[in-house]
Structure 1
Amino acid sequence: MNENVNVLLKLFLEYLQIERNYSQYTIEYYQHDISEFAEIMKEQGITELKDVKYSDVRLFLTTLFERKLARKSVARKISSLRSLYKFLLREKLVTENPFSHISIPKIEKRLPDFFYEEEMSNLFKACEGTEPIDLRNKAILELLYATGIRVSECSQLRLSEVDLFLSTILVHGKGKKDRYVPFGSFAHDALERYIKDGRNKLITKQSSHDYVFVNYRGGPLTTRGIRVILDKIIEKSSLSGTIHPHMLRHTFATHLLNNGADMRTVQELLGHAFLSSTQIYTHVTNEYLKKTYMTHHPRA
């Protein structure tokens, strides 16, 4: 990328971080998508973002499909670049958005992956232990399952935002939207034990801070670090397959709906701006009901 593109990209990423409050993980995706686009444009002799036309975008999409990228990946890249140009238009750094008339490929809707209650029990058993790291890992798993918070929200959680007396946490969600989320007795006990015992043994004078979850050196635990921890938990359990942090968020929502929670409450707990984002879980619960019926009804 030339110097001018780098400057515009830096401005846009700062906007995502400061104004939109996006996680570092999400920002990295935007950076990768935009850098890739700039390189492909450079191969066509276009070095300025303001010089990109609709026909150039069509050529970019052709290149992506020739690479046999999944529709989901192509849709994400289009969304990233459309957002970039909307920002540049707002700042009057370009005169048009060449992505404004580009349609996002339809993505096949997949039901969210989630754990059954028996599988969650296996994961909790894999966290048992008395070492500070064990206490931390158990607290992370209990909190993610108890609240359905995003991993980025978990890593940014501070001690002042945890109320053990009321069993609630203050969560800073996407778009600077705050919400209070309650948690149950299992998460309460795991958090209390970790904060009062495990965390104190991991933290040092040199690494003093108020983030709840810390790494083995005492520094703040990153979202990537939490993903590594979850991978290790599933390796220790008797479960096969992989785990991704959002599975615990999906599991939280699915188990609530399976046990009679209403959609609006789940929407609020998850921090979804739109009910449509939460409605995907009704399909999961319907599948669950059907499977239960087929398994247990004598005339199924």
Structure 2
Amino acid sequence: MNWNSYIKSFQHYLKIERGMSKNTIDNYTFDLQRLCSYLDENNISVSPIKIEDETIQQFIYTVSKELNARSQARILSGLKSFFSYLLFEDYRTDNPMELIETPKIGRKLPDTLSIQDIDNLIAAIDLSKDEGHRNKAILETLYGCGLRVSELVNLKISDLFFDEGFIKVTGKGSKDRFVPIAKSTKKHILLYKDSTRNHLQIAKGHEDTLFLNRRGKQLTRAMIFTIIKDLAVKINLQKKISPHTLRHSFATHLLENGADLRSIQMMLGHESITTTEIYVHLDKKHLTQIINSFHPRKN
């Protein structure tokens, strides 16, 4: 088999055996194709079962010049998974990634928006335009439910269990979870669904998709990024933000108002509590309030 055949087999393994998300599989595939391009550009003819660690190390050294530590770590993660798969399937007898170290990336915390920042973003939405109520419902849902952008664009009408006060969210690895939804978020979703969405000519296959573009099709992740960045520019917000910023703000504001880590973990869909801890950085003022409120010797 050539590289493409091994990569396709690897994709199938990640999807069926590992249950990984499409985004993760696409990222791993992109990085493997980057390695293939490097081999072609340097006239290196070698198969996945014959390539040695020196060649891979040189590839990593070359691409690292234009990538930060986090991107480097992702490439290494994908390559390690690929060669571990080849080892598992007995295509190879060794793993050329064993001696290659992953760069230390630390815990990078995205910017958090204040409640006033979020109110300003939402207030800046032009409700006179057809997409205004949709965009307002999108921001209210991202912040009100703490969703990932991929979870938002894949949200279905059949996932809305408003009578029970929940929405069903399909997260990483196609794992479902139920997230409580506030009355205000529910109100904006219903307003969009009943006043805007029902006037669209919905494309075949998108009848159950909640958030649609003007052509009646599912919104892309890139479009959500654009909506939020345009609003940030409109209110002159001096922060680099993304849909993930609203998710991070959701978790931080919950913690600051007394929610426990375990509950936040369940709502965010994190398998490990240590992942949740990345989101809930605290300032000293809040820590002082915790001591004054809960420590037995607070007086």
**TM-score per shorter chain, which class?**
0.7 to 0.9
1:285 paired with 2:282, answer yes
Q: Distance in 2 between matches of 1:75 and 1:207?
A: 37
Contact 2:111 2:240 in 1 (8 A): no
* Cα distance per residue 1:29-54 (max 9 Å; x no partner): 22221111123234262431111122
Q: 1:144 aligns with which of 142, 147, 159?
A: 142
Q: Distance in 2 between matches of 1:278 and 1:190?
A: 28
Identify if the C-alpha distance between structure 1 residues 158 and 288 changes in structure 2 by more than 3 Å, giving closer, same or farther.
farther
1:54 equivalent in structure 2 = 53
1:84 equivalent in structure 2 = 82
Unpaired runs of 5+ residues, structure 1, are 293-300
Q: 1:272 aligns with which of 260, 270, 273?
A: 270
Q: Give runs of aligned pairs for residues 288-299 of structure 1, distance below 5 A.
A: 289=286
Identify if the C-alpha distance between structure 1 residues 57 and 291 changes in structure 2 by more than 3 Å, giving closer, same or farther.
farther
Q: Distance in 2 between matches of 1:4 and 1:196?
A: 52
Q: Distance in 2 between matches of 1:9 and 1:62?
A: 22
Identify if the C-alpha distance between structure 1 residues 275 and 8 changes in structure 2 by more than 3 Å, giving closer, same or farther.
same
* Cα distance per residue 1:81-139 (max 9 Å; x no partner): 11122233333333332113322111133223211111001011012515431111011
| TM-score, L = length of structure 2 | 0.87
Q: Distance in 2 between matches of 1:139 and 1:21?
A: 30
What amino acid maps onto 2:76 in structure 1? I
Contact 1:122 1:239 in 2 (8 A): no
Q: Give runs of aligned pairs for residues 121-200 of structure 1, distance below 5 A.
A: 121-200=119-198
What amino acid maps onto 2:283 in structure 1? N
- Aligned-pair identity (%): 36
Contact 2:20 2:172 in 1 (8 A): yes
Q: Quote how far apart the aligned CAs of 1:186 are.
A: 1.7
Q: Distance in 2 between matches of 1:205 and 1:225?
A: 18
State the aligned residue count.
Answer: 288
Q: Quote how far apart the aligned CAs of 1:259 are.
A: 0.6
SS across alignment from 2:107: coil
Q: 2:104 aligns with which of 103, 106, 124?
A: 106
Q: Give runs of aligned pairs for residues 62-73 of structure 1, distance below 5 A.
A: 62-65=61-64, 67-73=65-71
Contact 2:113 2:246 in 1 (8 A): yes
Q: Quote how far apart the aligned CAs of 1:220 are.
A: 1.2
| TM-score, L = length of structure 1 | 0.86
Structure with bigger helix share is 1
Q: Distance in 1 between matches of 2:220 and 2:288?
A: 38
What amino acid maps onto 2:51 in structure 1? V
1:295 equivalent in structure 2 = none
